[in-house]
Structure 1
Amino acid sequence: MSQTRIAVSNQKGGAGKTTTAINVAGALAERGHGVLLVDADPQGHATEGLGYEDEYDTEALSLYDVLIDIAETDRFPELIRHHEEFDVVPAHVQMFKLEGELTTARRREERLSMAFDSLEHEYDFVIVDCPPNLGPLVDNALLACRRVLIPAPTRTTAIRALEILFDQIEILAETFDVSIHPVALVANEVTTDSEAEKMLEWFDDVLGEGVPVFEVRKRVALQRAWNNGVSIFAHPEECDMTGVYDDVAAYLEGLNDE
């Protein structure tokens, strides 16, 4: 199997990016794949949720160092930590400075791609948890992955955020002459009200038949898994949303056949 890279992106806060990233990574690992989860969000929610709080403000080499200095991108493998389910590259608090510092840097949008090129382990999947905004870090993730898994709430406030994300994907694709496209959408905390129903219809209309929408409902077990530093697949409590994340993983497996 060739390596599949997925950027989990939506610049709207509270869309469920990190929950999606961790549980999709867990689902893929449960299916026997080698998975690397990269926390590219300066807020470090995945880093915290997977139990790597100490890495967030370490004085040792960090993802900030690798991305800010083009000469350090080949040291990316040194950042990998071995979680019980999958491997992890933690975020670092200094990454908040990257948005400004990369603005005028040479090959600023390609630093993460260069870092991935230095990977020695042949992961089946690389999952990148993106920041809740648009900027150099998200551009890096989109260009490095070329495939985008979009988490979104089923509220009309999500419409504008997704339209802006689609515009940015189109701009990057044209600028760098590459193909970048959404592969699926995960609708988070789906409810049974009319607004949610309309948004699910809107997702289907905008994304088209080739991009499936997976519905995840709010479950306390997902938060408890987070509190235990694991995905729902390594959490002992039963949860009906486990099947949904497994469906996402099964779908992502099929991308290698395209």
Structure 2
Amino acid sequence: MNVWAVANQKGGVGKTTTVVSLAGELARQGERVLVVDLDPHASLTSYLGLDPETTDDGVYALFRQAAGESTPSPHVRPGQAEGLDLLPASPALAVLDRTLGTRKGMGVVLQKGLASLGQGYDHVLLDCPPMLGILMVNALAACDRLVIPVQTEFLALHGLRRMLRTLEMIGRSRDRAPEYIIVPTQFDRRTRAATQSLYTLRDEFHPHIWTQYIPVDTRFREASRQGRALTCSDPASRGAQAYASLARHLLSLENTPQEELAS
């Protein structure tokens, strides 16, 4: 089971789109995929056709159960997309930092939960909130690889730098930080700002940046309206082709020995 977290400490960079598109492509290849919504805004949950207000047996239940409270057991739901199962989010996740953030052992709740909930899946993808807290800490502790989508605009670079500082801090405190890859998103080759941002990303963050990019594609909007992954609903589209290429690259990294990656 490969666990990939998709995170950035800035909103609007394409985290949920990245999770759905990668998961859809993996499922299209016949893989069993679980997606986990860790964001109190619950965009992934809504995308896949569930009402966040009625999902008290998702991620929130996992944390309340770990705290020793009597709650419904966490329950994986079938999503309204091909081959994807979902552990949903609810707005109640917003209170976890205040209610459970200081309790011992709360940083590895997800890692322990996936040991049972993730059984039988080839891949688990985590959609993270855009802020540092108990949920992001759990995601970074549970994942094998971190995917950082970065919108190709100047302000998004600040969010990336914050994310990398967080990753460094987690690595110091746990003696382990996940491998990460930076994915340029929402690239519009017609604009000078996007082109300059892409050049900056490649110059400053080599060798961790993916050499390709996710283009602007209006079909993403239509796919989200349908509650489907673009990689399933329109695999020939530009955006779907880009995410298919990213999925192939990530799978190649998982199949490459660490000593070869380091050389």
TM-score by length of structure 1 reads 0.90
Report the alpha carbon displacement of residue 167 of structure 1 after superposing the two structures with TM. Answer: 0.7
Distance in 1 separating the partners of 2:86 and 2:177:
26
Q: Counterpart of 2:203?
A: 205
> 8 Å contact 2:8–2:160 — kept in the other structure?
yes
1:68 aligns with 2:64: yes
Change beyond 3 A, Cα 1:78–1:217: same
Give the corresponding residue for 1:129. 127
Aligned 1:206-221 pairs, distance under 5 A: 206-221=204-219
Distance 2:34 2:12 in 1: 23
Aligned residue number for residue 249 of structure 1: 247
Alignment of 1:32-71 (within 5 A): 32-53=30-51, 56-58=52-54, 60-70=56-66
Deviates more, 1:187-196 or 1:93-102: 187-196
Match of 1:105 in 2: 103
Residue in 2 that maps onto 1:163: 161
Cα distance per residue 1:51-80 (max 9 Å; x no partner)? 012xx122642311211331579x998421
Structure 1: 5+ residue runs without aligned partners? none
Instruction: Look up the SS of the partner of 2:5 in the other structure.
Output: strand
Aligned counterpart in structure 2 of residue 144 of structure 1, from 139, 142, 145: 142
The equivalent position to 1:188 in structure 2, one of 172, 186, 189, is: 186
Supply the distance in 1 between the matched residues of 2:182 and 2:19 (Cα, whole angstroms): 13
Q: Which amino acid aligns with 2:242?
A: V
The structure 1 residue matched to 2:225, chosen from 198, 207, 227, is: 227
* SS of 1:10 mapped into structure 2: coil
- Which residue number corresponds to residue 117 of structure 1? 115
Contact 2:180–2:208 (Cα < 8 Å) also in 1: no
Q: How far 1:21 moved relative to its partner? A: 0.9
Secondary structure at the counterpart of residue 37 of structure 1: strand
The SS at the match of 1:151 is strand
Gaps of 5+ in 2: 257-263
Give the superposed CA RMSD: 2.2
Shift of 1:212: 1.2
CA distance in 2, matches of 1:48, 1:153: 22
For 1:247 and 1:140, the matched residues in 2 are separated by 28
In structure 2, the CA distance between the partners of 1:162 and 1:184, relative to structure 1 (3 Å rule), is closer
Alpha-carbon offset, residue 179 of structure 1: 3.1
Query: What SS is found at the alignment partner of 1:157?
Result: helix
Cα gap change, 1:50 to 1:213, in 2 (>3 Å)? farther
CA contact (8 A) 1:169 1:181 kept: no
Shift of 1:237: 8.3
Runs ≥4 residues deviating over 6 A: none
C-alpha contact 2:167 2:177 (8 A) present in aligned 1: no
